[in-house]
Structure 1
Amino acid sequence: MTSVGKRIRSFVSMALACAAVASLSGGSAAAQSKDQLVVGQLQFLTNFHPLVQVNNTKRLVVNYSLRPMTAFDENVVNHCILCETLPTIENGLAKIVDLPDGKKGMKVVLQLRAGLAWGDGVPVTSKDIEFTWRMANDPNIGFSNYNPWTRASELKVIDERTVELTIPQIISSYNSWDQVIPEHLEGPVYAANPTLDAYVKQSLYNTQPTNPGLWNGSYLLSDYQIGTRIVFTPNPKWPGEKPHLQRIILSYRDNSSSLLQNLLAGSVDAVPVSPGGISFSQMLDLKNQQPDKFTYHLAYGTNVERIAVNFDNPILKNKSVRQALLYAIDRQAISDELFGGLQPVANGILSTENVYYSKDMTLYSYDAEKAKELLSSAGWTPGDDGICINDKGERLSLELVSTAGNQTREQIAQVIQSQLKDVCVEITNNFVPLQEFNGVMARKRKFKALMMSSIDFSPSVSPKIALGSDSIPSAKNNGVGNNFSAYSNPEMDKAISELETALDPETAKQKWADVQRIFAEDLPMLPLYFYPRAYVTVTDLTNFRQGTLDPLQIWSEEWQRQ
């Protein structure tokens, strides 16, 4: 093992290993009921609204009960979830049209599936789509920007189940759309609370999350206890395949060690693997010790772990410093030693497995000497204590913020701290609770220098959400956007705009190459690695479609225990 490898492994908790051995040597817990599944979780939601301050943690919870209009499966095929037929140019439900301003745009027709109803029995109608679209376009509110309703400049209600959307440009993601929310319940709340802060506090998603009328998926959020559990039960109004499991219980723990112990003891039946569950190293250790006790689900992922770089920080405005930081992090060693090489190093926001991945960009393989040269060229030289200083005597000291209780991130942060110290950069780690992380640190951009988190680019998601200058969260847009770095480059904005309008694969590939090239040159964030989609479950769980490119919970009615 290399010296770097030894250093990395030293950060793996010995207490965890002892706990795992103790659990393995004990007797197994009583078998769980075959009609329920207990899923161990970290990071309890502090805001249940499906379209406000959306992140990966929230998407993996709300999709049990509130389905998006469309979603991509494990074969990269887009499906209608709430609609009857996926709009395409070929079937005529999507058309390129001339707009009154002389530009080209699109008309897209969405028809809700027959029999679709909210959990209280009220039909899901065009009014709900129109209401969601109207709220999304209200600058005082601000909704999710994964597959946003704001892309449509106009909406025409054709009948109770059908709407026509006008998109003021040609975009490749014209047939990917987010969830809708119930006008009959949320409409009065919105009318009485027309600002984001007031609305979120009074939204029934946060004051009455067990109200069945809020949900339209195969399951209803039927019970919860803050910080402890969320219970889902079948929605009798769901018109699709009826759920096989009668209860799905999300059971929360404070840390990944506790999750692993509960899995081994039989008190939970499934756990996600990093970033929202046990660490990848824990999964590998468990698989080595108990290869047949559980099923280990592993599939290619689009979720990239990255470090956002705050461009308001004068040290980080210098591109040479950003480049030096990435050269100084031995990402391959981290992957090899903690993840068995199964979490591939990220060269950008697209994995090498992606058909649009381009090699025509700067690659940052580990090179500590190159990092030192870049820092020197930026005016940073080692001080008496080994930490760099500039000609003003200021120290090269940066704070790295991430989520508390996430063992994987805590391990990685400590490794990065150690590796960067070798090139004279001082890193102070700051692990904060999820609510503070998603709110003050991310949405209000209060992190001082560096912030480690993940972002999932499913096939329909534009890189604009993290790289577009109009996606910088601010008070003006109510904190919408994942461009936490405040990165703004007209060349990148142009490249993204051209990518979004590319309808044919060859043009899309060329435009993706431009985005990746500019990204690698500017480094608005430091890409670390891609998370495979991974879960550990009991062996009798079947039809568990772990490889879907949108949240697997969208297909949870298919899960069953044999």
Structure 2
Amino acid sequence: MKKTLALTAFLLGAALAGPANNSLVIGTSQEPPNIYDPWNTNNLAITSEINGYMGAALIGLDDDGEPYADIATRVPSIANGDYKVVKNAAGDVVRNSVTYTIRKDAKWSDGTAIKVADFQFWHRLVNDDRVPVPDRDPWSRAKIAVNDADTFTITYDPPYLFADQTSPGMAPSHIMSAAWTAFDTKTKNEKDAKVVNEEWKKFISSYTTARSLPKVVAGPFKPTAWRSGNSLTMTRNANYWLQPKNPENYVQNITYRFIPNTNTLKVNILSGQLDAVSAVGLTFDQGVDLTRTERGKYKTYFVPGAVWEHIDINTRGQKAKDLDLDDPRMRQALLYAIDRDALTKALFQGRQAVSNSWVNPISKLYKKDVNDYNYNQARAKQLFAALGWTAGSDGILQKGGKKLSLNFGTTAGNTVRERVQQILQAQWKQVGVQVNIQNYPSSVFFGPDFLSKGQEGKWDLAMYAWTGNPIFEEGNLFKGEGIPTAANGYAGQNNAGWNNAEFNRLHKQAQVEFNLSERIKLFDRMQTVWNTEVPSLPLYYRVNVYTKVPGLVNYTFSAYTLYPSWNSAKIGWASKGAVEEYKQK
């Protein structure tokens, strides 16, 4: 009964879809815990997508992976003198720097000019240990020198490989600096990391949540209403500088509708309640089903993406030790025990490739010839036995009086992930592993108190996806410095907690290796080490599925842009005069 009522509410209470009022209604299966956090302390995919509508950067990338100037007056290059590289006598790059000049018409949504001070403020906080950012690199090795109010030079020492293709973030210092000073005063002598973390959450939530919407933004759209559990609405920002000709001909309002159950999301597409679907929405099998019922009402797209589906194995804490999850043999056994080829054929018609590395196949650094861990129950049982696990009377492996029982979590409501869980649960049971499925809303699963708290034994197996631009592959996901701990403010993305000395050494070398062939060699070895240790169970590389109705133009994305919000100022309806510049590839 509850499901029927919820579905009725979604259909009858929906915003009107279509070009009639020059608005756009987008459906997504996830709701962000917060939005427009300048330091991305929540790195949920849907957050990144929505932030794309509200954010701006010095330099951006288009669907072809080509850089373009946004806040900056031009793209830095060696040719124009804005990008400089310093080499030693041996010809090795020892440092590099980029100079940016801010456009005179670049403003925050309240009309305040964007200044160098906004980049300095962001940079100071991203390097503060009290701020739980996903990663401080490369900003921890960067220094900003002010040339004038609109021009600054950022120098990387040691050098940063992608200095000319990326840029530092910014935060509205005129809005946030006073509150930061208060936070700083209150916590600078605080020794308890949990207290500091709670104060940080209070600080950032006062600018980024449904109760306290961002005071200002810099991008093409600004948030105007957020009904938790229901929808988020954004309105066109008149102060955004890169407007298309005749901006009134383009979308004026965008509403995201949060529909966590992907089957309900599909029903909303079929009933015409949505103009488009987020990159974080449909499952692959639903996309296949939807192609059969298009009939000109919508079109379904399958976009090759940079999305890696995997299962993290928690290697930290006493529980992990008791279960031998900190031993690579246990992790190898768990991988040998599952049939990933059959899984992708059954669920995705074999159109999503099985992965054996975290590196995307699109990347030049991808290594093909690593162990593929083909389905081998006998090998899995050998490894379990070598670790001292023997079958009990119920068939479940046990050791020292404890059963090999693992808690397996993912985002609730994602039907494909839930089906994957059921398939893997059955396969693991065949080799004596008891798996308990425990799923959570995405806001909890990706929130501050779950994945990053592996040391506390909050989870054993966690299935989710990482999205990353293949151009900027750095190997950061599994570096030892990236393990979230109380000491680093729970910063970092190495949720598995894997810490391998050889991998860390190779990673540091790769960070400053500008010769591509040498860098490929380093990544070859890094992937071999990773593949042997399997801190995460690699599943497959995902194809992103979405739909949009006819007449909606410039709503596109690629493995380089990741989300359709990259070009949001130009999203519009052809019937309203919007000009199509980009087609979905």
TM-score with structure 2 setting the length: 0.85
Aligned residue runs from structure 1 range 161-560, under 5 A: 161-175=150-164, 176-194=166-184, 195-203=196-204, 204-206=206-208, 213-242=215-244, 244-272=250-278, 276-290=280-294, 292-312=296-316, 313-314=320-321, 315-390=324-399, 392-438=400-446, 439-445=448-454, 446=456, 447-550=458-561, 551-560=563-572
Q: Which among 48, 55, 66 is matched to residue 77 of structure 1?
A: 66
- Contact kept in structure 2, 1:87 and 1:93, CA below 8 Å: yes
Which is worse superposed, 421-430 or 536-545? 536-545
- Distance (whole Å) between structure 2 residues aligned to residue 78 and residue 379 of structure 1: 54
Q: After TM superposition, give the deviation of residue 547 of structure 1 in Å.
A: 1.3
- Distance (whole Å) between structure 2 residues aligned to residue 327 and residue 113 of structure 1: 55
What do residues 288-329 of structure 1 show as CA deviations (whole Å, max 9, x unaligned)? 233643222222211111111111212211211101111222
Which is worse superposed, 336-345 or 113-122? 336-345
Amino acid at match of 1:526: L
- Distance (whole Å) between structure 2 residues aligned to residue 212 and residue 236 of structure 1: 16
Which is worse superposed, 137-146 or 539-548? 137-146
- Contact kept in structure 2, 1:388 and 1:395, CA below 8 Å: yes
- Contact kept in structure 2, 1:40 and 1:259, CA below 8 Å: yes
Q: After TM superposition, give the deviation of residue 96 of structure 1 in Å.
A: 2.8
Identity of aligned residues (%): 26
Amino acid at match of 1:422: Q
What do residues 176-218 of structure 1 show as CA deviations (whole Å, max 9, x unaligned)? 1353110000111111122553243234423688767521011
Sort the Cα spacing of 1:490 and 1:68 in 2 relative to 1 into closer, same or farther, 3 A. Answer: farther
- Distance (whole Å) between structure 2 residues aligned to residue 158 and residue 500 of structure 1: 28
What do residues 94-119 of structure 1 show as CA deviations (whole Å, max 9, x unaligned)? 223379xx992222222223311000
- Distance (whole Å) between structure 2 residues aligned to residue 137 and residue 451 of structure 1: 28
- Contact kept in structure 2, 1:118 and 1:213, CA below 8 Å: no
Q: After TM superposition, give the deviation of residue 120 of structure 1 in Å.
A: 0.2
- Distance (whole Å) between structure 1 residues aligned to residue 103 and residue 309 of structure 2: 36
Alignment partner, residue 109 of structure 2 = 119
Sort the Cα spacing of 1:88 and 1:523 in 2 relative to 1 into closer, same or farther, 3 A. Answer: farther
- Distance (whole Å) between structure 2 residues aligned to residue 453 and residue 462 of structure 1: 19
- For 1:521, what is the secondary structure of its paired residue? helix
- For 2:546, what is the secondary structure of its paired residue? strand
Q: After TM superposition, give the deviation of residue 556 of structure 1 in Å.
A: 1.3
Q: After TM superposition, give the deviation of residue 334 of structure 1 in Å.
A: 1.9
Q: Which among 14, 25, 30 is matched to residue 38 of structure 1?
A: 25
- Contact kept in structure 2, 1:316 and 1:322, CA below 8 Å: yes
- Contact kept in structure 2, 1:119 and 1:237, CA below 8 Å: yes
- Contact kept in structure 2, 1:34 and 1:561, CA below 8 Å: no
Q: After TM superposition, give the deviation of residue 535 of structure 1 in Å.
A: 1.3
- Distance (whole Å) between structure 1 residues aligned to residue 397 and residue 291 of structure 2: 43
Alignment partner, residue 10 of structure 1 = none
- Distance (whole Å) between structure 2 residues aligned to residue 124 and residue 147 of structure 1: 24
Alignment partner, residue 188 of structure 2 = none
What do residues 485-518 of structure 1 show as CA deviations (whole Å, max 9, x unaligned)? 1111121112112222222332332222122111
- For 1:455, what is the secondary structure of its paired residue? strand
Q: After TM superposition, give the deviation of residue 548 of structure 1 in Å.
A: 4.7
Sort the Cα spacing of 1:482 and 1:219 in 2 relative to 1 into closer, same or farther, 3 A. Answer: same
- Contact kept in structure 1, 2:33 and 2:209, CA below 8 Å: no
- Contact kept in structure 1, 2:305 and 2:543, CA below 8 Å: yes
Which is worse superposed, 417-426 or 79-88? 79-88
- Distance (whole Å) between structure 2 residues aligned to residue 228 and residue 83 of structure 1: 36
Q: After TM superposition, give the deviation of residue 464 of structure 1 in Å.
A: 4.3
- Distance (whole Å) between structure 1 residues aligned to residue 482 and residue 22 of structure 2: 43
Sort the Cα spacing of 1:293 and 1:468 in 2 relative to 1 into closer, same or farther, 3 A. Answer: same
C-alpha RMSD of the superposition: 2.6
- For 1:157, what is the secondary structure of its paired residue? strand
Alignment partner, residue 131 of structure 1 = 121
- Distance (whole Å) between structure 2 residues aligned to residue 143 and residue 347 of structure 1: 28
- Contact kept in structure 2, 1:148 and 1:178, CA below 8 Å: no
- Contact kept in structure 1, 2:381 and 2:431, CA below 8 Å: yes
- Contact kept in structure 1, 2:359 and 2:473, CA below 8 Å: no
Give the number of equivalent residue pairs: 532
Alignment partner, residue 86 of structure 1 = 75
Unaligned runs of 5+ in 1: 1-14, 24-28
Sort the Cα spacing of 1:211 and 1:375 in 2 relative to 1 into closer, same or farther, 3 A. Answer: closer
Unaligned runs of 5+ in 2: 185-195, 575-585
- Contact kept in structure 1, 2:304 and 2:558, CA below 8 Å: yes
Amino acid at match of 2:526: V
- Distance (whole Å) between structure 2 residues aligned to residue 336 and residue 536 of structure 1: 23
- Distance (whole Å) between structure 2 residues aligned to residue 374 and residue 403 of structure 1: 30
- Contact kept in structure 1, 2:18 and 2:24, CA below 8 Å: no
